[in-house]
Amino acid sequence: MENILKNPNISVALFDSHIIPGTGAQGVQIEATCHRVRGETLPEVIKVVYSKRFPDPKERAKRNLSMDHFSLPDTVGRTDHIYKIVPKHFYILDKKIGKDTRIEVKI
């Protein structure tokens, strides 16, 4: 959290270790920015995230999913925040073409 506040530029790497080397794309790399979701979009984001995480309404009702809870400042003990990653560049890794070849996918 502190690092994102200082620098919102992030990298994400996803790799499938089950792919047999040389048989095709083995992973993706993403260059992105990351920011905390706040304000008027927060209620809808909470609903979407937690409806998928806890499909049973009774299970969701056991949790504090209020705007107040997710809006607490970073300095108040344990806080729950939701972050959004916005991709700038998206690459696939394809070893069929060459060792560690990265191909940009237009997004």
Taking the domains of the chain in order of start, what are their residue ranges?
A: 1-36+83-107, 38-81
Cα–Cα distance between 43 and 69 in angstroms, integer?
11
Block means of pLDDT (10 residues each) for the chain, 107 residues, are: 88 82 75 94 94 94 91 77 94 74 87
In the chain, the DSSP E strands lie at 9-15, 25-36, 83-94, 102-105
pLDDT confidence of residue 2: 78
Q: What pLDDT is attached to residue 55?
A: 95
Model pTM? 0.74
Q: What is the pLDDT of residue 22?
A: 63
**What is the structure's pLDDT at 12?**
93
